[in-house]
Amino acid sequence: MSLLVKGGTVVGPTGTRVADVLIEGEKIVAVLDPSFSPTITVDEVLDASGKYVIPGGIDAHTHMELPFGGTAASDTFDTGTRAAAYGGTTTIIDFAVQRTGEVVQDGLAAWHAKAEGECHIDYAFHMILGGVDADALKAMDQLVADEGITSFKLFMAYPGVFYSDDGQILRAMQTARENGAMIMMHAENGIAIDVLVQQALAKGQTDPIYHGITRPAALEAEATNRAIALAEVAQDCPLYIVHLSASQALEKVAEARHAGRNVFAETCPQYLYLTLEDQLGAPGFEGAKWVCSTPLRSKHEPHQRDLWKGLRNNELAIVSTDHCPFCMKDQKELGLGDFSKIPNGIGGVEHRVDLVFQGVVDGKLSLERWVETIATTPARMFGLYPQKGIVQPGSDADLVIYDPNGTTRIGVETHHMNMDHSAYEGVEIKGRVGTVVSRGEVIVADGNYHGRKGRGKFLKRGLSSYLM
Ligand code: URP
Ligand code: ZN
Ligand code: ZN
């Protein structure tokens, strides 16, 4: 099957140009000056004139079916990857979980069993380490060498669940420095947060808003700084701070990066668009929709301005969703009367490409930086480049024809995620995902779905291109 994507403006990390993209089977075979293409015969032509042609989005942070607080994230690999496709994402990197006390490889096998035969788009895994001991350290080596898992997430938060202490973190970082893996860090001081949570509950402060109030920016910045220091002690182990939300944490990352350190960070659309005040203004228990960790920050502080600036100047490398959806009914409701029991997470895998494009419309980001933060850098950061993340000959034919003149209105009535609400209800984007091509196959066109469950392939990843 051959396909010609004709007349679009191809956007890459280094620039834009009007070009035709020739696809044979699953691969891009040429990016052509339009004057050459009339001589080519193909099976199908997709008209992209007036549109952007970008690499398929790569969401480097999702949690399909993540067990959390006595329930599990409401999107399966089937529903979540289909929704991702609708939103122009053609690859996800999900987090496989080693529960505390579990053999790492058993946790990985369980994740493969959840995903295999279910995914609509290609997928890869990071590994959450729920317990760092001698066996887990050996398992890290094995996963890097044999399984294509080259990044490991540790938690400085959630004592008693996923939490690692500083000694465990240092050991994992030393192992990663040796085998080339990336350490991904949930950087919040969970011990201090737990004290604040207990104090709030003792005062009868049980509403969802106290989730954010008991997770102050200072404790995100402290943990970020500590993670950076531990990585330095581990011979500059590559460190990636996940879901960064606060200006104070960004300052720590910026300082390390300016010093030439192997430190990277992502933020998420919820921190770029939503605030603590959205939660405050919500009636009754509705604020639970916005409970996530790190939490939403106040609009009266300069977090959002600083995060956009960080994205512009590469202090922040990537926008991922941290897609971790829970329905209000029977899930978020577990925290009625006690905010600490609300499962943490916001769903947004379908909206990332659009929400970051709105930053282009608003003059906060260049077109090139849009593509870089949603596709090219995730591919490079997590060992998928150049198979993914770029429109160039030899790469997988994963691309999105994006209409800058379209409109997207986000809401529970129209989204495809398995959620009974939307954290972005009513948000309007000037731009729209038109056609989505995954390995040469049109899976979304004009809002209609043509993909199928099970067509997504597991991707074994290499080491990060940013490794020094
Ligand atoms: O609130 C969040 N972020 N839930 C998902 C788990 C995590 O820490 O990433
Ligand atoms: Zn986290
Ligand atoms: Zn997460």
Whether residue 47 is contained in a domain is answered as: yes
Cβ(461) – ligand 1 distance below 6 Å:
no
What confidence score (pLDDT) does residue 468 get?
Answer: 79
Based on the domain organization, do 78 and 149 belong to the same domain?
Answer: yes
Q: Do 160 and 306 fall into the same domain?
A: yes
Closest-lying ligand to the alpha carbon of 66?
A: 1
pLDDT tens-digit readout, 106-119:
999 999 999 999 99
**Is residue 395 in a domain?**
yes
In angstroms, rounded to a whole number, what is the distance separating the alpha carbons of residues 347 and 80?
Answer: 9
How far apart are the CA of 450 and the centre of ligand 1, in A?
31
The pLDDT > 70 percentage for the chain reads: 100
26 and 106 part of one domain: no
Which of the four pLDDT bands, split at 50, 70 and 90, describes residue 40?
Answer: confident
299 and 360 assigned to the same domain: yes
Whether 412 is in a domain gets the answer no
User: Residue 448 — very low, low, confident or very high, per pLDDT cuts 50/70/90?
Assistant: very high
Residues with CB under 5 Å of ion ligand 2 are: 186
Ligand 1 pocket: which of 63, 126, 342 to mutate (most atoms within 8 A of CB): 63
Task: Please check whether residues 323 and 402 belong to one and the same domain.
Answer: no
Same-domain status, 183 and 317: yes
Q: In which element (H, E) is residue 345 found?
A: none
Instruction: Give the burial string for 169-204 (b: 16+ CB within 10 Å, else e).
Output: bbbbbebbbeebbbbbbbbbbbebbbebbeebbeee
Total count of domains within the chain: 2
Atom nearest to 157 CA in ligand 1: 8
Residues whose CB is less than 8 angstroms from the CB of residue 102 and which lie 6 or more positions away in sequence, other chains included:
130, 131
d(CA 236, CA 263): 8
Percent of the chain with pLDDT over 90: 96
The Cα 76–Cα 79 span in angstroms is 5
Q: 188-210 pLDDT, tens per residue? A: 999 999 999 999 999 999 999 99
For residue 322, how far is its CA from the centre of ligand 3 (angstroms)? 4
Give the Cα separation of 303 and 281 in Å (integer): 19
Residue at 459 is within a domain: no
Residue 370 confidence (pLDDT) above 80: yes
Mean pLDDT of the chain: 97
pLDDT score at 339: 98
Of 293, 341, 349, best ligand 1 pocket probe by most atoms within 8 Å of the beta carbon: 293
Answer whether residue 458 is part of any domain.
no
Q: Which atom of ligand 1 is nearest to the CA of 153?
A: 9
- What atom of ligand 1 comes closest to residue 186's alpha carbon? 8
Statement to judge: residues 121 and 164 lie in one domain:
yes
Residue 431 belongs to domain with CATH number: 2.30.40.10
CA angle 12, 368, 370 (to 5 degrees): 110
Judge if pTM exceeds 0.95: yes
Measured CA to CA, the distance from residue 27 to residue 391 in angstroms comes to 10
| Residue 64 CA: distances (Å) to CA of 114, 214, 418, 443, 459 | 9, 27, 11, 20, 16
Strands 71-72 and 67-68, by their bridges, are antiparallel
How far away, in angstroms, is 242 Cα from ligand 3 center? 7
Q: Are residues 33 and 120 in the same domain?
A: no
Distances (CA, A) of 94 to 79, 122, 265, 319: 14, 11, 17, 15
Q: Which residue's CA is minimally distant from atom 8 of ligand 1?
A: 293
Same-domain check for residues 35 and 130: no
Alpha carbon of 130 to ligand 3 centroid (Å): 14
Q: 165 and 48, same structural domain?
A: no
Q: Confidence band (pLDDT; 50, 70, 90) for 325?
A: very high
d(Cα 340, Cα 324) in Å, to the nearest integer? 17
For tokens 């030899």, what's the residue?
394
Q: How far apart are CA 211 and CA 188, in angstroms?
A: 13
Residue 460 falls inside a structural domain: no
Q: Which domain holds residue 442?
A: 2-54+388-407+424-449
Residues 236 and 310 in one domain: yes
220 within domain boundaries? yes
Counting ligands in written order, the one closest to the CA of 293 is 1
pLDDT of residue 92: 99
Ligand 1 mutation pick, 153, 243, 339, max ligand atoms within 8 A of CB: 243
377-434 pLDDT per residue, tens: 999 999 999 999 999 999 999 999 999 999 999 999 999 999 999 999 999 999 999 9
Query: Using CA atoms, how far apart are residues 363 and 50, in angstroms rounded to an integer?
Result: 20
Residues 155 and 301 both lie in one domain? yes
Q: How far is ligand 2, taken at its centre, from the CA of residue 9, in Å?
A: 36
Q: Which residue, 151, 11, 120, is CA-closest to 350?
A: 120
The pLDDT value given to residue 39? 78
377: domain CATH number is 3.20.20.140
What is the tens place of the pLDDT at every residue in 130-183?
989 999 999 999 999 999 999 999 999 999 999 999 999 999 999 999 999 999
Q: Is 422 in the pocket of ligand 1 (CB under 6 A)?
A: no
222 lies in a domain? yes
In the chain, count of helices (H) and strands (E)? 14, 19
